[in-house]
Amino acid sequence: MIPPDPLAAYQNAPLGDLLAILLRQFRRPLKGHGVDLTDAEAEALAHDLANHVSLSEKAQAIRAALVDLIAESETVLAGWHLTFQQSLDTEMKDIPGWESTAEFLEIANEKANAELRISTGASLLAALGDLRYADDLLFLVEHGEDDLDAVIARRVLLFASGIDGSDPHWLDQLRAWIATPKL
């Protein structure tokens, strides 16, 4: 028997449910930036986003906090002279600053957390209408089709762009949409 596809739930779940999961993952970091978010608020906001409801004041505060959180993670990666995209392509053996196993694990954890916070935060920002990290999300889509972050990035970019993901040329359309300046 073939095991179920672990990404299928993320590929097929209603967008509001997916966004609610992502928002709940950010509750603690958001609180550190002055934004308290209950599970019920995360759920309501996620479904508002999926239904194109105008952003509330809380949603705008979340968007601002996400920008700050992503910048903090970019600073972590910059400590190794890496951008987000470079970091995803860099193996731990190529990261300086560790000699012991404990140091390796600590740095690997910092790198992975920074990458995850950027990818998830960028996806949430796109759902909130802020596309400043669309190039990074496209990079995820193009380089990790079997990766959860790529699945989420694809879903959010298709949502934000209105492109039909079942169209055989969706990726070319998405590239063109991202390359077109937005007003």
Q: What are the sequence ranges of the domains in the chain? A: 8-179
Residue 2 has pLDDT above 70, yes or no: no
pTM for the whole thing? 0.92
pLDDT digits (tens, 9 = 90+) for 95-139: 988 889 999 999 999 999 999 999 999 999 999 999 999 999 999
Q: What values do phi and psi take at 47, rounded to 5?
A: -75, -30
CA distances from 5 to 57, 58, 147 (A): 38, 35, 12
Of the pLDDT bands very low, low, confident and very high (cuts 50, 70, 90), residue 12 is confident
